[in-house]
A and B are shown apart, each in its own frame.
Chain A
Amino acid sequence: MTQRQQLVIIGNGMVGHHFAESFRQQAGADAWQVHIVGEEHHSAYDRVHLSEYFQGKGHAELALGTLDGYREAGIEAHLGVKADHIDRQAKTVTLSNGDTLAYDKLVLATGSYPFVPPIPGHEAERCFVYRTLDDLDAIRSAAAEGTTGVVIGGGLLGLEAANALKSLGLHTHVIEFAPRLMPVQLDDDAGQVLRAKIEELGVTVHTQTATQSIDTLDDGRLQLNFAEGDPLTTDVLVFSAGIRPQDALGRDCDLDMGERGGICVNNHCQTSDPDIYAIGEVALWDQKIFGLVAPGYRMAEAAAAHLDGGEAPFLGADMSTKLKLLGVDVGSIGDAHAASSGAISFRYNNEAKGVYKKIVTSADGKRLLGAILVGDNSVYDTLLQYHLNDIELPAEPDSLILPTSDATPALGVDALPDTATICSCLNVTKGDIVGAVDGGCCSVGDVKSETDASTGCGGCAAMLKDVVDATLEARGIEVDHSLCEHFSHTRQELYHLVLVEEIKTFDELIQHHGQGRGCDICKPAVASVLASVWNELVHDEPHVKLQDTNDTFLANMQKDGTYSIVPRIAGGEITPDKLLVIGQVAKDYNLYTKITGGQRIDLFGAQLHQLPDIWQTLIDAGFETGHAYGKSVRTVKSCVGSTWCRYGVQDSVGMAILLENRYKGLRAPHKLKFAVSGCTRECAEAQSKDIGVIATENGWNLYVCGNGGMKPRHADLFATDLDDVTLIKTIDRLLMFYIRTADRLQRTARWMENLEGGLDYLKDVILNDSLGINADLEAQMERVIDTYQCEWKATLEDEEKLKRFRTFVNSPEEDDNVVFVQERDQIRPATDDEKQNLIATA
């Protein structure tokens, strides 16, 4: 066997990782032993979404690959280790842990480092940069005790850092030397609009401000002294004054370097030493550094192909960007400053709404050279496609940015050539997407997994959907939205039929609008709609046959056919006496007990015929049903709040109990979880719930549409500083709107993602009453709340209903197939093998 060649990658950042992945796909990859060296102790992660770390994502969620993945691919990872020196004669790399790696080919993917201006005092303890997870950890712990944060630098990353400081609860200032924010991407007017919007959010912006020195005060805080004006005191200071290529290794071993840094590379990303490649933010191509991830990925692919004897040259990249900074849309395309000769620009500036749009065209007005958008990015995709594909502009180019009574004149996807890039992160073209559809993909989801489109920054999601839908339509494929074979309607349509035609039973609905007997899909779905609209007991005669077993028997069926029982413990608050009752019931009936994630107690192992007796005891002791079995409001989790906690600012337990009692029993397309936290420390984890409420000094902040579970989603901030009454009103409307419009088994998170217009649209409907339905929504919620009954109490009072709670209709025996064994001092269902053994030894 021939000795494998050695390939060493220095830098385990986004681009280094992408290179490793791309290289594995090359035909000749097996002939190489690959090493990847990374100075950070974390394996490569998504730096683009770094700020989501402060919204609760950990390294695991941001990670691009895993160490196991590297191991399986035969890649040796050296993490937490820095490459100190390259010896080009010996072809070795010396590492900070003393090891030496020999290489046949070397790839430098060392990225860049944040530039810290040499202001006297900049090395103080509370000065930070914003680039790595470690940086964020340090910022977070410094911010924990503080009240104020300052960012030096008002560029793109500086504003992102400002948003992070704000989210940590600090009063935040941004200090920019230039006369406007984001001087590279924006012009003065756009900078002005952005500034106004950001200041509205409570961030103080200082432009044309030069920091002269930083003093550390006796209490450890920092004082910034400016050329003019009063000094500013802060707990945390973040520098975001630009990035510089991390090119010391190249300089050290005499590779060709750019005048202002960066390692020079050719179209294959080779440096002046053909055995050494440089890619990503450290590489200087055609005198340019590309500070975005997509060009870095293209470089990685170019180098990987070239190493394997192929060719996928890097020919530059588009630097257009679309982002949300502190919640404000900002877009910048191509020649934003109209620097090209003869360029003319068109501007739209709406100070009332805080919207600024500008396009830059060629002298004849036919080609789009650049654009700037602030406050409204809705035309970004269209403009970018005009720009990238050199599509001829309409006769009046300004029609693209002027408000019209109709929807924006979007560029139909039909007008795009097949070569048009739809997803620039993963380099997926319209042609690739059309090909995927022709290859059998029938949905956006299919196309995503086939082509990886929209799995990077996600900015192209809307565009992707348009292309997929248009292609499907062009192929004559109709997208089927039927609920099941019995109803060719969506859940939303059925909801409207029930409401408008005042339909009260399933039989009536299927007779008029469906066919057949129904099934286990449509029956519970319609039952839930009927319950949301009319709120008759789910057990009443016409409805009982529609419920699946959990709703029928008001308990949760477990894998052995026994049930678990969950009494309501609103807000997680329970008296010692009630705790004793639960303990006694569990003992009397030999039930397994476990505390649930929703702060209540689940009792497992009851047979059907035991349920009424157990519930009678619980109800006599003052409990009511917890609806754990229903697609309905589950729990409102809470922290202990201002009553006991020294940090609490509102009574979170009180609010949690109020909310839980208000919405208990409300049937919805899926389960609903709430939480209330008493301060921004957020111990109740409200931002992972459908409805999350976080106390502020002035009231409550409302977060909506969060989700734990299989596909977690961080909740969105919906409204701030609400008083109790407004909070409840807002939740009333939002929940009813969800119930009216969501699909079957669609949690709020997916519901909002699928609403056209997303969060902004939802805010418009709920907060601004843009559809004029809020009075209706509130009235309907009122009706449901007024007709609440405890389903267990009602069942126990009705002999007819109790009849169903028999294990056998013709015998009082128990199900002898239900067998328990002991584990950790409680029961658990026996496995099939254990059952066999028990029978054999009996």
Chain B
Amino acid sequence: MTAQLKPDTWTPICTTNDLVPDSGVAAKIDNQQIALFYLPDEHRVYALANKDPFSNANVIARGLTGDLQGKTVVASPLYKQHFSLEDGQCLEDDSVRLDTWPARIEGDHVYISIQ
């Protein structure tokens, strides 16, 4: 069973216990694969598309996080391009951007808003 999509609503995905600090996990909502990154020092979750546009494989959630040139980023585990967690922008290629969704933590739960 995957969670149902409702416009303009926060969809509960998982609990904070499912997240890995400073690292990523993948989730699936309808047919959309989403990478969730948890940065405990910001107490914040970022949600990006899990599909790596350079390899067409669903691997972004398994990349390393960090910061580069002032941006908080994830590096694709396959060919190592960097994507900004904030807006999905690829640092190596201006024309490539991952979809992103608003995400938040409330209590023990993690929610995403998908339009």
Q: For the complex, is A319 an interface residue (Cβ under 8 Å from B)? A: no
Q: Mark A699-738, 1 if CB is under 8 A from B, else 0.
A: 0000000000000000000000000000000000000000
Q: Indicate if the CB atoms of B64 and A548 lie closer than 8 Å.
A: yes
Name the one of B18, B63, B77 contacting A803, with C-beta atoms under 8 angstroms: B18
Task: Indicate if the CB atoms of B27 and A517 lie closer than 8 Å.
Answer: no
Contact of A549 among B25, B28, B59 (CB under 8 A): B59
Q: Does A519 contact B (CB under 8 A)?
A: yes
Given A520-B75, A804-B25, A810–B67 Cβ distance below 8 Å? no
The interface stretch among A162-170, A188-196, A557-565 is A557-565
Q: Are A519 and B75 in contact (CB under 8 A)?
A: yes
Taking CB as reference atom, which chain A residue is nearest B56? A832
A580 to chain B, nearest CB (A): 32
- Minimum CB–CB distance from A475 to chain B (whole Å) comes to 27
Q: Which residues of B are found within 8 Å of A523, using beta-carbon distances?
A: 64, 66
Question: A817 CA to B73 CA in the complex, in Å?
Answer: 24
Are A516 and B2 in contact, with the CB atoms below 8 A?
A: no
Choice from A559, A561, A811 contacting B2 with Cβ under 8 Å = A811
Partner of B33 from the list A516, A522, A548, A815 (CB cut-off 8 Å) is A815
Contact digits for B2-44, partner A, Cβ 8 Å, 1 yes 0 no: 1100000000011000111111011111000100100000000
B63 neighbours in A (Cβ, 8 Å): 520, 549
Residues in chain A near residue B69, CB distance under 8 A: 485
What string of 1s and 0s marks CB contacts (under 8 Å) between A804-823 and chain B? 10111111010101000000
B113: Cβ under 8 A from any A Cβ: no
Chain B nearest CB: distance from A630 CB in Å? 15
Q: Which residues of B contact A804 (CB under 8 A)?
A: 20, 25
* List of B residues within 8 angstroms of A296 by Cβ: none
CB nearest to B25 among chain A residues = A809
- The CA of A703 and the CA of B108, in the complex, are separated in Å by 57
Report the bound CA distance from A545 to B62 in whole Å: 10
Is the CB–CB distance between B66 and A519 below 8 Å? yes
Name which residue of chain A comes closest to B41, CB basis: A517
Q: Which residues of A contact B36 (CB under 8 A)?
A: 809
A519-563 residues at the B interface, CB under 8 angstroms:
519-520, 522-524, 544-549, 552-553, 557, 559-561
Give the distance in Å from the alpha carbon of A804 to the alpha carbon of B22 in the complex.
Answer: 13
Q: Given known contacts A520-B64, A545-B21, is B14 in contact with A809 (CB within 8 Å)?
A: yes
For window 45-82 of B, CB contacts with A under 8 Å fall at 51, 55-59, 62-69, 72-73, 75, 77-78, 80, 82
Cα–Cα, bound, A544→B13 (Å): 23
Q: Are B18 and A545 interface neighbours, CB within 8 A?
A: no
Chain B nearest Cβ from A640, distance in angstroms: 39
Question: Smallest CB-CB separation from B2: which chain A residue?
Answer: A811
CB-CB < 8 A to A517: which residues of B?
22, 65-67, 72
Q: Does A518 contact B (CB under 8 A)?
A: yes
Q: Is the CB of B58 within 8 A of A809?
A: no
> Which of A523, A548, A807, A809 has the most C-beta atoms of chain B within 10 angstroms of its own C-beta?
A809
Complex Cα distance, B58 from A807, in Å, reads 10
For window 8-54 of chain A, which residues contact chain B by CB distance below 8 Å?
A: none
Q: Which residues of B contact A561 (CB under 8 A)?
A: 55, 57-59, 62, 78
- Cross-chain contact B66 with A811 (CB below 8 angstroms): no
Determine how close the nearest CB of chain A comes to the CB of B73; give it in whole angstroms.
8
Neighbouring A residues of B66 by C-beta, 8 Å: 486, 516-520, 522-523
The reply to whether B67 and A516 contact each other, CB–CB distance below 8 Å, is yes
Q: Shortest CB–CB separation between residue A744 and chain B, in angstroms?
A: 14
Minimum distance in angstroms from A682 CB to a CB of chain B: 37
Contacts of B22 in A (CB 8 A): 517, 545
Contacts of B72 in A (CB 8 A): 517
Closest to A800 in B: B17
Chain A residue nearest to B23 in the complex (CB): A545
In the assembly, what is the distance between CA of A524 and CA of B75, in Å? 12
Q: Are B20 and A557 in contact (CB under 8 A)?
A: no
Residues of A within 8 A of B80 (CB): 520
Asked whether B67 lies within 8 Å of A519 as measured between CB atoms, the reply is yes
Hey, which chain A residues are within 8 Å of B77, CB to CB? 548-549, 557
Q: Which residue of B lies closest to A524 (CB)?
A: B64
Complex: chain B residue closest to A808, CB-CB: B28
A803 to B25, CA, bound (A): 10
Contact of B57 with A560 in the complex, beta carbons under 8 Å: yes
A803 to chain B, nearest CB (A): 7
Contact call B51/A817, Cβ cutoff below 8 A:
yes
Q: Please, which residue of chain B has its CB at the minimum distance from the CB of A803?
A: B18
Q: Mark A582-620, 1 if CB is under 8 A from B, else 0.
A: 000000000000000000000000001000000000000
Residues of B within 8 A of A832 (CB): 56
Minimal beta-carbon separation of B91 from chain A (angstroms): 11
Chain A: which residue is nearest B1 at the CB level?
A811
A485 touches B26 (CB 8 A): no
Do A559 and B26 contact each other (CB < 8 Å), given the known contacts A485-B68, A519-B66, A520-B80? Answer: no
CB atoms of B57 and A559 under 8 A apart: yes
Give chain B residues whose Cβ lies under 8 Å from the Cβ of A807.
26
> Is the CB–CB distance between B57 and A806 below 8 Å?
no
Contact A810 to B64, CB < 8 A, known contacts A557-B77, A561-B57: no
Query: Do residues A559 and B78 form an inter-chain contact, with CB atoms below 8 A?
Result: yes
Q: Is the CB of A813 within 8 A of B28?
A: yes
List residues of chain B with CB within 8 A of the CB of A516: 66-67
Q: Which residues of A contact B65 (CB under 8 A)?
A: 517, 545
From residue B84, how far is it (CB to closest CB) to chain A in Å?
A: 13
Shortest C-beta distance, A810 to chain B (Å), equals: 5
Report chain A residues within 8 Å CB of B55: 559-561
Contact between B14 and A544, CB atoms less than 8 A apart: no
Q: Kindly provide the distance from the CB of A832 to the nearest chain B CB, expressed in whole angstroms.
A: 6
Find chain B residues with CB under 8 A from A524 CB: 64
CB pair A552–B62 under 8 Å, yes or no, is yes
How far is it, in angstroms, between the C-alpha of A515 and the C-alpha of B13 when the chains are bound? 33
Provide the residues of chain B in CB contact with A552, threshold 8 Å. Answer: 23, 62
Known A517-B72, A561-B57; 9 more pairs at CB < 8 Å: A486-B67, A516-B67, A519-B64, A545-B64, A557-B77, A809-B18, A809-B27, A810-B18, A817-B56
A residues engaging B (CB < 8 A)? 485-486, 516-520, 522-524, 544-549, 552-553, 557, 559-561, 608, 803-804, 806-811, 813, 815, 817, 832
Pick 5 A–B contacts, CB within 8 A, sort by A: A547-B64, A559-B55, A560-B57, A561-B62, A806-B25
Shortest 6 CB-CB distances between A and B: which pairs? A519-B66, A561-B57, A520-B75, A549-B77, A545-B22, A520-B64
